[in-house]
Structures are given as structure tokens and as C-alpha cells.
């Protein structure tokens, strides 16, 4: 998608459609200049039509009218932003997404978008770029029937952004648009990876996708198979993977700054859950719960998408991604309820439910990540249905005890326009994972299930500042909404990128984490510390 800036009277800008974002109640005398001049050119019929159609500027409203040759553009779209008091850049991003979907339905290849002055121009321009690019996203590559011409149509490719009066058209604006473009591209890439069926995205293909990211973004990639996972004594990961016909993959990507001094700093570690299909294993899921389980690798897709942008951003500290990819399947070789697995850390785990597989793989991967002495570790995982019960389909559960790091991640989410909510990591529930025969069991009682999962992961984290993000709900959208379609959302990409930007911009926040960084790893029956991949 190509973006250009224009200034001056928007109504003369021309094009197939001019999009005019409006706050609730902004149709009166206080109306933005673009509305006033379009209404004037249309002899007052624009406001009249809006009134007649009940368009007030509410956040879910829009109105498309043909201009009958009275304006330079063929159509005008009034786009509701809702109340001024509730305005955030995310409101504009969602609205731009709706405009994109409208343009797509009208088969437009170009449009003109009035940048509202409700946010600083670089912020507004960036979220419009993101909203439009995320909004035109479709996953239809497997549809062979229907209108083939539709699929071949060029789609929305040219956007003129009309800047508010007085906004300067400098480097800051260009950079904001470029960042928006990169983030949207990476998010759509992650959405593709999640939407792809599980017979296509298997562990090997996920590793290939990681390699693709590394190549595009100039990162170091190391991929291992079962032998390497055995060498690293990741008994929990191996247990989950052993029921599948597909070999598991161990994935390590590293962004290392060019400046040697920066390269020596403690890295930021990103860990993503990568179960390419979660059948539940022998604790088989009911059919209906299994349908969407190709999305059980959304955490790793978000990490990989973010790594792609991070390679371009070049922050002054290393960033590493750690992923263990496998399938959770029932078979004659599958791990069983009752099995006792020995983790890389040395802790033993009694399996009470083979469907609580994510925490097993993540536990070993977290141990491995912690061995790289990160300044902070963030994991993203479609970990529990319980988190969906607690927070619904749109909110990420954020767990962690290192307040500074949790708050930085929450602040990043807020800037990125993703909804996060802090959840407790309470010791009150620790008994839930107590086992009679091993150091712990992998699934506890149902109540507080999302917390139990976080408590399990915590066992492998040690003193590393750590944030666990349960994205089981928001990794997919149940319906079309704003810039989303039904299906994968790419949640997490935007927040991770923003977190890295925040950390790069404020050395104090990075330092607060680094000084709290561990000198000792998580307590386990000490295993060889030399094994590093
Ligand atoms: N991948 C699922 C969690 C999930 C549920 C993701 C719904 C997306 C949507 C996870 O592996 C799982 O099965 N968790 C179990 C844990 C239980 C057995 C302790 C769950 O949530 O039921
Ligand atoms: Mn499961
Ligand atoms: Zn799972």
C-alpha cells in the first residue's frame, strides 16, 4: 500500500472515495473543515443526508454517499469515531480498519483519508496506516470457488493522507508511517501463520517461517530437531512431542546490535508457545474444542512477527526469541496421564492431564532462555481456556511479580492499542500443583486455572524479571471487528514492538530490569550448565 501526504482543501484531493472521520456530535457548527467544505460543495445535502440516516459520529457508525460529480472524489465516507472523551489512537485504528473493509467491498484501489486533529499528526497517521493495512487483510488462499476475478483484483493500494492544517510534513511523519507499515505487515504475516491449517504449518514449517524472518531481518537463526532437544535434556518438551508423527523443532533467533558494547548487554528474551495442533493428546479434547487448535502456536507467531520488526528497529540491546514447536497428539507413542517427566531444570513432573501441554514445553524453553541470562523474559502463550473465561475474547492476561517489568509491558500495550489486564500470581493456590509422587503435577484444580498455569511456569523462571502473557482469548477474533476479521489477530506483535521501542528510548527502564537480573538460575537439581544451543 502506498501512502502520500497532501495538505490544503481536502475536497479537491479527488479519488474514488474521501474518508472523513468525525467525533460524535461533530456535525454541527464545530464540524471539521473537510466536512464543512464537502457539505458546501454538495449544497448542504451531506449534513441533511447524515441527519436523515441517523449518522451522528458514533464509534460504530459510517455512511457512504455518492457525490454525483459535485466533489472531486466519487464518494464520501463519514466515519464515526465516537465521543471525544473516549477517543484514543486505537479508536482511529479501528475506524480506519472499517474504512478499509468498506473500500474493499466497493473494490476501490485508492482513497483519500482526512487525518483528524484528535491526535498528533504522526500518531494519527501511523494508526491510520496500521488500521488500513490490517483492515484489508484476508485469508482466502484456499478458496478456489467463487469469483476468481475478485481474488485477482488489485485491492486498495493508493492512499492520500490529508494532513490537518499546521501539521508539519517532516521526517517524524515519514518515520511514523514507515513504522506503522512494518508493524502492520508483521502482524498480517503472523495472522497468516496462525490461520494456515495445521496440515500446512507443522513444526518444520514453523521453523522455516522463523528462518524466513531471520533472513529478512538480518537475525541469527539456529534450528534444532529431536536430537538437539534430547541433548538439552528437555524431558517435558520431548514428552509432549512424542505422540506426533512430526519431529519437534527447537528455534532460536538472535538480534545482536552492531555496536560491540551494546551487543554485550543482557538480552531481552521472548518465548512463544508453538503447539502447531493441540488435540489434547490422550486427554483428548471434545471435537468442538479442537476445531480452532491450529491457533495454539499464536504466541510464537507474535514473537516471530515482532522479531522481524525488531531487526529493522535495531535497538541498542540484544533480543532473542526461543521457541519449542511440536504437535500434541494421541497415539501409541504419546505421553500418558501418570507419566513422570524430568525437565531440563531437573524438576520432575507428574502428568495428570496431557492437555496441559503448553506449560510443559514452555517450562523447558524458559529454562533454556534463562540460561542466556536475559535482562527480562516475556512469554506469549495460548495457555488456558480459564483465561478466556476470566477475561473474554479481547483481553490478554498479564502475569508477573516483577512490578517494573509488568508495568512496562502494560504501558507498551496501552500505547500499542492492545488490551491487557494484570492478573495475580498468587501463592495461595500453590497446593494446586502438589504431586504425591513427583516434584509437581502439570494440572491442578479447575478454579483459577490461568493462575495455576502461571504458577507452573514460575517454577522455571528463577529471579529473571518475567511477564507471562496468556493470549488464549485475543489470539483470534470471533467476528469481524474494526481491522480484524474472524480468525487470527496477530495479538502481541504491536505490544512487543512497542515494548522494545520503550526500552530503547528510556535506558532507565531497561536498567531497572537489568539490575534486577538474576545471578542465580531457577532452583532445580543442578544440571550441566554448559549445554547451550
Ligand atoms: N491450548 C489450550 C488452551 C486454549 C483454550 C487456547 C482455548 C485457546 C483457546 C491449552 O493447551 C489447554 O488445553 N489448556 C487446558 C488446561 C487444563 C487441561 C489444565 C484448558 O484450558 O482446559
Ligand atoms: Mn492443551
Ligand atoms: Zn495448548
C-alpha cell at 491: 495479538
Count of C-beta atoms within a 10 Å radius of residue 533 = 16
Distance 319 CA to ligand 1 centre (A): 28
Give the closest ligand to the alpha carbon of residue 447: 1
Q: Which residues of the chain, if any, have pLDDT below 70?
A: 146-150, 508-533
For the CA of 283, the nearest atom of ligand 1: 18
Distance 445 CA to ligand 1 centre (A): 13
Please tell me the predicted confidence (pLDDT) of residue 528: 45
> Is 225 in a helix, a strand, or coil?
coil
Query: Could you give the C-alpha distances from 259 to 219, 262, 314, in angstroms and in order?
Result: 15, 5, 10
Angle at 372 between CA 370 and CA 373, to 5 degrees: 70
From the list 186, 221, 225, 218, the residue with the least C-alpha distance to 202 is 225
Is 285 one of the catalytic residues? yes
How many Å apart are CA 530 and CA 303, to the nearest integer?
A: 26
Whether the CB-CB separation of 343 and 363 falls below 8 Å is answered with yes
Tell me where in the chain the CATH 3.40.220.10 domain(s) lie.
2-169
Please tell me the predicted confidence (pLDDT) of residue 479: 98
Distance 165 CA to ligand 1 centre (A): 51
Tell me where in the chain the CATH 3.40.630.10 domain(s) lie.
196-515
Residues enclosing ligand 1, CB less than 6 A? 278, 296, 353, 355-358, 382-386, 388, 443, 449, 472
For residue 422, what is the enclosing H or E element? strand 420-423
| Residue from 241, 384, 388, 492 to probe ligand 1 pocket by mutation (most atoms less than 8 Å from CB) | 384
Distance 356 CA to ligand 3 centre (A): 7
Please tell me the predicted confidence (pLDDT) of residue 523: 64
For the CA of 442, the nearest atom of ligand 1: 19
Q: Give the architecture (CATH level 2) of 2-169.
A: 3-Layer(aba) Sandwich (3.40)
Which residue's CA is the nearest one to ligand 1's atom 17? 356
Which residue's CA is the nearest one to ligand 1's atom 7? 385
How many Å apart are CA 124 and CA 175, to the nearest integer?
A: 13
> Which of 285, 430, 481, 527 is an active site residue?
285
Residues with CB under 5 A from ligand 2 (ion): 278, 355, 357
Please tell me the predicted confidence (pLDDT) of residue 518: 47
Distance 53 CA to ligand 2 centre (A): 48
pTM: 0.95
Which residue's CA is the nearest one to ligand 1's atom 22? 385
Place of cell 505487515: 185
Please tell me the predicted confidence (pLDDT) of residue 526: 43
| Residue from 240, 294, 472 to probe ligand 1 pocket by mutation (most atoms less than 8 Å from CB) | 472
Task: Look at phi and psi of residue 363 and say left if phi exceeds 0, alpha if psi is from -120 to 50, else beta.
Answer: alpha
Fold topology of 196-515: Aminopeptidase (3.40.630)
> Which of 205, 249, 344, 359 is an active site residue?
359
Which residue's CA is the nearest one to ligand 1's atom 3? 384
Place of cell 464543512: 36
Is 434 one of the catalytic residues? no
| Residue from 385, 390, 452 to probe ligand 1 pocket by mutation (most atoms less than 8 Å from CB) | 385
Distance 276 CA to ligand 1 centre (A): 14
Amino acid at each position: 500500500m502506498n501512502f502520500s501526504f497532501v495538505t490544503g482543501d481536502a475536497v479537491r484531493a479527488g479519488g474514488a472515495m474521501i474518508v472523513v472521520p468525525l467525533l460524535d456530535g461533530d456535525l454541527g457548527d464545530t464540524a471539521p473543515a473537510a466536512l464543512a467544505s464537502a457539505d458546501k460543495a454538495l449544497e448542504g445535502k451531506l449534513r441533511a443526508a447524515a441527519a436523515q440516516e441517523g449518522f451522528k459520529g458514533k464509534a460504530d457508525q459510517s455512511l457512504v454517499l455518492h457525490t454525483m460529480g459535485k466533489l472531486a472524489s466519487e464518494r464520501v465516507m463519514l466515519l464515526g469515531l465516537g465521543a471525544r472523551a473516549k477517543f484514543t489512537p486505537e479508536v482511529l485504528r479501528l475506524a480506519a480498519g472499517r474504512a478499509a473493509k468498506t473500500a474493499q467491498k466497493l473494490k476501490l484501489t485508492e482513497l483519500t483519508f482526512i487525518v483528524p486533529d484528535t491526535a498528533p499528526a504522526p500518531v494519527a497517521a501511523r494508526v491510520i496506516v496500521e488500521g488500513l493495512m490490517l483492515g484489508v487483510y484476508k485469508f482466502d488462499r484456499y478458496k478456489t470457488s467463487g469469483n476468481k476475478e475478485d481474488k485477482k483484483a488489485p485491492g486498495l493500494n493508493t492512499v492520500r493522507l490529508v494532513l490537518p492544517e499546521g501539521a508539519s510534513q517532516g521526517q517524524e511523519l515519514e518515520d511514523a508511517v514507515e513504522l506503522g507499515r512494518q508493524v502492520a505487515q508483521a502482524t498480517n504475516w503472523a495472522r497468516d501463520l496462525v490461520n494456515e491449517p495445521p496440515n500446512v504449518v507443522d513444526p518444520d514449517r514453523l521453523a522455516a517461517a522463523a528462518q524466513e524472518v531471520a533472513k529478512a531481518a538480518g537475525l541469527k537463526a539456529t534450528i534444532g530437531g529431536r536430537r538437539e532437544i534430547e541433548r538439552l535434556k528437555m524431558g517435558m518438551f520431548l514428552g509432549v512431542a512424542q505422540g506426533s508423527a512430526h519431529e519437534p523443532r527447537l528455534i532460536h533467533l538472535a538480534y545482536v546490535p552492531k555496536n560491540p558494547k551494546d551487543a554485550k548487554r543482557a538480552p531481552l528474551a521472548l518465548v512463544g508457545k508453538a503447539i502447531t495442533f493441540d488435540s489434547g493428546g490422550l486427554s483428548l479434547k471434545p471435537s468442538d474444542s479442537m476445531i480452532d487448535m491450529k491457533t495454539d502456536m499464536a504466541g510464537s507467531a507474535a514473537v516471530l512477527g515482532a522479531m522481524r520488526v525488531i531487526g529493522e528497529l535495531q535497538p541498542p540491546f540484544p533480543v532473542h526469541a526461543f521457541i519449542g514447536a511440536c504437535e500434541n497428539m494421541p497415539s501409541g507413542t504419546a505421553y500418558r496421564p501418570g507419566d513422570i517427566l524430568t525437565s531440563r531444570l531437573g524438576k520432575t513432573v507428574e502428568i495428570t492431564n496431557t492437555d496441559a501441554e503448553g506449560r510443559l514445553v514452555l517450562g523447558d524453553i524458559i529454562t533454556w532462555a534463562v540460561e542466556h541470562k536475559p535482562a527480562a523474559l516475556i512469554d506469549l502463550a495460548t495457555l488456558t481456556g480459564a483465561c478466556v473465561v476470566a477475561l473474554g475474547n479481547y483481553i490478554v492476561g498479564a502475569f508477573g511479580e516483577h512490578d517494573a517489568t509488568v508495568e512496562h509491558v502494560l504501558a507498551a500495550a496501552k500505547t500499542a492499542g492492545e488490551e491487557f489486564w494484570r492478573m495475580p500470581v498468587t501463592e495461595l493456590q500453590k497446593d494446586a500443583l502438589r504431586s504425591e509422587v513427583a516434584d509437581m503435577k502439570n494440572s491442578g484444580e479447575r478454579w483459577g486455572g490461568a493462575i495455576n498455569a502461571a504458577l507452573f511456569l514460575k517454577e522455571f523462571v528463577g529471579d529473571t524479571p518475567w511477564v507471562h502473557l496468556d493470549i488464549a482469548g485475543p489470539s483470534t477474533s470471533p467476528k469481524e471487528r474494526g481491522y480484524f476479521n474472524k480468525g487470527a489477530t496477530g495479538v502481541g506483535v504491536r505490544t512487543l514492538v512497542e515494548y522494545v521501542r520503550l526500552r530503547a528510548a528510556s535506558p532507565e527502564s531497561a536498567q531497572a530490569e537489568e539490575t534486577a537480573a538474576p545471578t542465580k538460575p531457577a532452583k532445580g537439581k543442578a544440571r550441566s550448565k554448559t549445554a547451550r544451543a
